[in-house]
Amino acid sequence: MKVFRIKHGENVFYATLEGDHFKSLIAGQTGEGPIPLNECLILPIVVPSKIVCVGLNYKEHARELNMDMEEDPMIFLKPSSAVIGNNDAIIMPSISQQVDYEGELAVIVGQPIKNVPPEMVAPLIFGYTCANDVTARDFQRKDKLFTRAKGFDTFAPIGPCIETELDTSALGLRTMVNGVVRQEGNTSDMMRTPHELVSYISTIMTLNPGDVIMTGTPKGIGTLKDGDTVEVEIEGIGTLSNKALSEESLKTIVQ
């Protein structure tokens, strides 16, 4: 089931899209009957308390970087202020000379998770979505730590929806820039499964409903230019699309 977070009037809620209308997941929440699509604003799919990201989880990506995979997953955080939705703009900061895309499968937490073994994770997950771990690569190299490189506003596109019923063992994933495939991989190449990652992270911190886990990127990361359209497509979910704009271009549009 594909779930969207929408606003209709003053109400914000989750709903399924059925043709040209939405249907609320909670009966009676917005009255009876379908809600026309053209009366709704589609919002970013979650407002997380945190975004936990995983580095070097695809074997082919580690090989292309000539890096060894560590025994324990490498994790880092993005701030919730980085979240944008489908069709929102990625704003490339003028102080960075290299902004890269990283297409990823993301887990959306459904219930509080703390110290949960992998085999018990599934019922606690709301679903899965597409994500782009946008990175100022020059700052990542310079700082060594990831906070500045990964934390700019708009650097966490997620969407377009949450798929609640998905086998993630062998999903095709590809990232396209201006229609040209730049990344192509499969979740079967992951070193650690999404359930294993969620379990591991839950031994360190409590995961709250709406939190996002980005599960790593396959080989083929690359750089975005002003005006590029980047799309992350995952089998069974859909396509997340965002245009990359420089701060200068954004000022021109606003004017």
Give the residue-averaged pLDDT of 87-115: 97
> Cis ω on the peptide bond leading into residue 160 (within 30° of 0)?
yes
Q: Is the pLDDT of residue 61 over 80?
A: no
Listed in sequence order, the DSSP H helices in the chain are 59-64, 137-143, 147-151, 194-202, 247-254
Same domain for 74 and 164, yes or no, is: yes
Report the pLDDT value the prediction gives residue 27, as an integer from 0 to 100.
Answer: 64
Same domain for 29 and 87, yes or no, is: no
Same domain for 38 and 70, yes or no, is: no
Q: Is the pLDDT of residue 121 over 90?
A: yes
Q: How far apart are CA 67 and CA 162, in angstroms?
A: 32
Same domain for 92 and 33, yes or no, is: no
Enter the pTM of the model. 0.94
Our separate counts of H helices and E strands in the chain read 5, 20
Domain with 21 in it: 2-43
Q: Is the pLDDT of residue 255 over 90?
A: no
Beta bridge partners of 214: 53, 106
Q: What's the domain count of the chain?
A: 2
For 203-247, the pLDDT digits (tens) are 999 999 999 999 999 999 999 999 999 999 999 999 999 999 998
Q: Which two tokens stand for residue 7?
A: 């606003």
Mean pLDDT of the chain: 93
Name the CA dihedral angle for 43, 47, 53, 58, rounded to a multiple of 10 degrees. Answer: -40
Same domain for 16 and 87, yes or no, is: no
Contact 92, 181 (CB under 8 A): no
Same domain for 18 and 67, yes or no, is: no
Report the pLDDT value the prediction gives residue 56, as an integer from 0 to 100.
Answer: 86
Same domain for 37 and 55, yes or no, is: no
For 125-155, the pLDDT digits (tens) are 999 999 999 999 999 999 989 999 999 999 9
Q: How far apart are CA 205 and CA 229, in angstroms?
A: 35
